[in-house]
Structure 1
Amino acid sequence: MKATFLTLIFGFFVINSFAQNQSGQNTKLQQGQFSEIATYRLFPTQNYWTFIKLDTRNGKMWQVHFSIEDDNNTGELVLNSLPLVFDEEKEVNGRFTLYPTENVYNFLLLDQIDGLVYQVQWSMDSDKRGIVSVIGPIEE
């Protein structure tokens, strides 16, 4: 009986301590000490060895390759080196995100603040990778 009571008391202290720690982390987030949304994110492609790295603040992107062999197939290729946000004050973590399409080489990049959509294409060929177009309304 004593052991059960002590176990319950110990469990209560552990849960209470965890809750206080989480509350402290939320306070730090509210004070701007930490960002809950990452500046950079990796998005998988349908190619096992290729990811797209996105700067979620301004839409810059890189094609990231990795390999388990010791060769030159690792590194980053530029998809978009120009920011899509022209005012640095409007750069916000999480502003941009990528959505895969059924086409292996294409993604849609969404500006979650302005609502602009860009077609992004990755490729090993430099003339076939980058932001292909801005998708706008279809005129009837």
Structure 2
Amino acid sequence: MNTRNFVLICFLILIAFNSYGQIEQDSISAVQKVEKQVEKQTEIQQLKVPIYKLFPTTNYWTFIKLDTRNGKMWQVHFTISEEGYEGELILNSSSLIWDDKEINGRFTLYPTKNNFNFILLDQLNGTTYQVQWNNDENKRFVSRIY
């Protein structure tokens, strides 16, 4: 093998190695850019869908506050007089799903014709619950509908 062929072969090998390294680096950069875009979209989605939502009841002074991630709920009362009750009463203080399954907007409430009842829907798996609000603690509950 003469010197010229040897130099040519070495040159081709160097070009091949350099090209391979450049392609791999470009691929890593492209993957990192896509991952950043996905993270941004997830952040934007999380901001668009609120964690907490208020649902009106038929009582002017009462709303139901829902944590849309996990199904926790409170009965919220407000007043415009000094004599009225103002505050929150617990409807459901326990998460209805595991912490790692929480997603903003997962749960929502639907009113029924009964003034004191709502249907809670898990919008990911379709599970439904009867939610009954009331000023009397013994009449407040959340019960799964089978």
Query: Which bracket does the TM-score occupy, shorter chain normalised?
Result: 0.7 to 0.9
Find the structure with the greater CA-based Rg.
2
1:47 aligns with 2:59: yes
Q: Provide the C-alpha distance between the structure 1 equivalents of 2:59 and 2:39, rounded to a whole number of angstroms.
A: 38
State the TM-score, normalizing by the size of structure 2: 0.69
- For 2:55, the aligned partner's letter is F
Shift in Å at residue 35 of structure 1?
A: 1.3
The 1:29/1:130 distance shift into structure 2, 3 A limit, reads farther
Shift in Å at residue 28 of structure 1?
A: 9.2
Shift in Å at residue 72 of structure 1?
A: 5.1
- For 1:99, the aligned partner's letter is Y
State the TM-score, normalizing by the size of structure 1: 0.72
Q: Which of 50, 53, 56 is 1:38 aligned to?
A: 50
Matches within 5 A, 1:1-140: 30=41, 32=43, 35-71=47-83, 73-85=85-97, 87-131=98-142, 133-136=143-146
Shift in Å at residue 31 of structure 1?
A: 5.4
Q: Which moved more, 1:98-107 or 1:63-72?
A: 63-72
Shift in Å at residue 71 of structure 1?
A: 3.0
Contact 1:54 1:60 in 2 (8 A): yes
Q: Please list every run of at least 4 consecutive aligned residues from structure 1 whose deviation after the TM superposition is greater than 6 angstroms.
A: none
Shift in Å at residue 32 of structure 1?
A: 1.1
Among the aligned pairs, what percent are the same residue? 58
Q: Provide the C-alpha distance between the structure 1 equivalents of 2:140 and 2:126, rounded to a whole number of angstroms.
A: 23
